[in-house]
């Protein structure tokens, strides 16, 4: 089972007199002192999202152009500067300063290669998610599966819909969104694995039945449901899960289930005390995101 990305070291941000908060695991927002600095124009909003996701690092001008335009205009540099000005005006309003003043320019810096948001986001849902995953790592290493599961669920609860859900992403942000969804799926499947170890079968059965329609070809979800049903004495229901998946794969994709899932099916079908179904029989696909956004 792969784990989510380790928590990066916190960059040294600019001096902001009020708490800075960012939400990306749902509708996008950035606040300083409770005042949103997200501009209304979509391209300026996309630029701010790039700056936030690259917290404290330079976003190169070429990257910005690829995000904002399929074919950059001749005046792309001026258009980017206009987006920067819109963000700086929102920063100035939050700080009560001049939009062209030195303090605002220090927070959204013009660099030789591009632009950098030099604001430490003290309250970021993405940063908090990764902190919780790191805490889960420590708890699991100490043998506290229940504590680790609780931390992972707390991380999942941070999600309020599709990441950057109110943006129209270009290719750069789209790739970032896919990575966030992969990270979310990894956390989810890791928590499912821990709950299976903890024999929380009853609660998992309902949850997995709700998740499967969101990714109807995901073998990990189907196998986890088969395992939970089998362990609660519902062998026929477990076999039905396999049959439904196999039919869907065959009819829609022209393929068969993986060998590991077929092996799990055989073990459930035989139900032999000499070769019982084990948690290790489940084929894990932790990194494939749920196909319908907002499933977290």
In the chain, residues under CATH classification 1.10.10.10 are 20-123
Q: Which residues pair with 137 in a beta bridge?
A: none
Q: Alpha helices of the chain — where are they, by DSSP H?
A: 42-53, 61-68, 76-95, 102-107, 125-141, 145-156, 171-197, 201-211, 219-231, 235-253, 259-270
Residue 96: pLDDT band with limits 50, 70, 90: confident
Tell me the per-residue pLDDT of 226-272, one tens digit each, with 9 for 90 and over. 999 999 999 999 999 999 999 999 999 999 999 999 999 999 999 88
- Rounded to whole angstroms, how far apart are CA atoms 174 and 158? 20
Give me the pLDDT at residue 95, please: 86
Name the strands in the sheet holding 108-110, side by side, starting at the edge strand that comes first in the sequence. Answer: 59-60, 114-117, 108-110
Q: Flag whether pLDDT at 291 surpasses 60.
A: no
Q: What is the pLDDT of the chain when averaged over all its residues?
A: 89
Q: With 50 as the cut, is the pLDDT of residue 6 above it? A: no
Residue 99's nearest CA partner among 113, 82, 85 is: 85
Start-end of CATH 1.25.40.10 domains in the chain: 199-296
Q: What is the pLDDT of residue 178?
A: 96
Long-range contacts: 224-229, Cβ < 8 Å, 24+? 224/192, 224/193, 224/196, 224/282, 226/264, 226/265, 226/268, 227/196, 227/264, 227/277, 227/279, 227/281, 227/282, 228/196, 228/201, 228/204, 229/201, 229/205
- Give the closest residue to 55 by CA, choosing from 33, 27, 30, 36: 30
Q: What is the residue whose two structure tokens read 């992969």?
A: 182
pLDDT above 70 coverage of the chain, percent: 89
Give the model's pLDDT for residue 287: 57
Question: What is the rounded radius of gyration, in angstroms, for the C-alpha atoms of the chain?
Answer: 23
Residues 137-194: pLDDT tens digits? 999 999 999 999 999 999 999 999 999 999 999 999 999 999 999 999 999 999 999 9
Are β-strands 20-23 and 123-124 bridged in parallel, bridged antiparallel, or unpaired?
A: parallel
- For the domain bounded by 199-296, which CATH number is listed? 1.25.40.10
Pick the CATH number of 20-123 from 1.10.10.1100, 1.10.1040.50, 1.10.10.10, 1.10.645.10: 1.10.10.10
For the residues 52-58, what does the mean pLDDT come to?
93
Q: Is the pLDDT of residue 1 over 80?
A: no
Structure tokens at 182: 């992969």
**Taking the model in full, what pTM does it have?**
0.85
Contacts 24+ apart (CB under 8 A), 205-212: 205/229, 205/232, 211/290, 211/295
pLDDT of 286 above 60: no
> If pLDDT is split at 50, 70 and 90, which confidence band does 10 have?
very low
DSSP string, 225-265: HHHHHHHTT-HHHHHHHHHHHHHHHHHHHS----HHHHHHH
Span 108-118, pLDDT tens digits:
999 999 999 98
Q: Which residue has the tokens 């950059």?
A: 72
Q: Give the burial class of 288: count Cβ atoms within 10 A of its Cβ; 0-12 exposed, 13-18 middle, 19 or more buried.
A: middle
Confidence at 103, pLDDT banded by 50, 70, 90: confident
| Calpha distance 35→27 (Å, rounded) | 16
Distance CA 220, CA 185 (A): 11
What's the pLDDT score for residue 275?
A: 85
């Amino acid at each position: 089972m792969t784990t989510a990305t380790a928590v990066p070291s916190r960059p040294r941000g600019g001096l902001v007199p009020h708490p800075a908060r960012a939400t990306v695991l749902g509708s996008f927002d950035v606040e300083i002192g409770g005042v949103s600095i997200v501009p209304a124009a979509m391209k300026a909003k996309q630029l701010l999202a790039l700056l936030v996701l690259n917290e404290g690092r330079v976003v190169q001008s070429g990257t910005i152009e690829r995000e904002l335009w399929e074919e950059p205009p001749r005046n792309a540099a001026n258009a980017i500067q206009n987006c920067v000005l819109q963000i700086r005006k929102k920063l100035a309003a939050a700080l009560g300063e001049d939009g062209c003043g030195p303090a605002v320019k220090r927070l959204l810096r013009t660099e030789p290669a591009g632009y950098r948001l030099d604001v430490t986001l003290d309250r970021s849902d993405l940063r908090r998610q990764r902190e919780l995953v790191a805490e889960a790592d420590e708890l699991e290493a100490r043998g506290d599966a229940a504590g680790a599961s609780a931390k992972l669920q707390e991380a999942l609860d941070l999600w309020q819909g599709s990441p950057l859900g109110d943006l129209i992403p270009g290719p750069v942000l789209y790739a970032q969104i896919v990575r966030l969804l992969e990270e979310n799926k990894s956390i989810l499947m890791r928590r499912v694995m821990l709950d299976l170890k903890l024999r929380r079968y009853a609660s998992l059965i309902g949850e997995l039945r709700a998740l499967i329609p969101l990714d109807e070809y995901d073998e990990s979800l189907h196998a986890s449901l088969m395992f939970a049903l089998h362990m609660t004495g519902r062998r026929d229901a477990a076999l039905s899960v396999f049959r439904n998946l196999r039919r869907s794969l065959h009819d829609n994709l022209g393929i068969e289930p993986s060998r590991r899932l077929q092996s799990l099916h055989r073990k459930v079908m035989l139900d032999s005390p000499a070769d019982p179904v084990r948690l290790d029989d489940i084929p894990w696909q932790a990194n494939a995101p749920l196909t319908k956004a907002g499933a977290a």
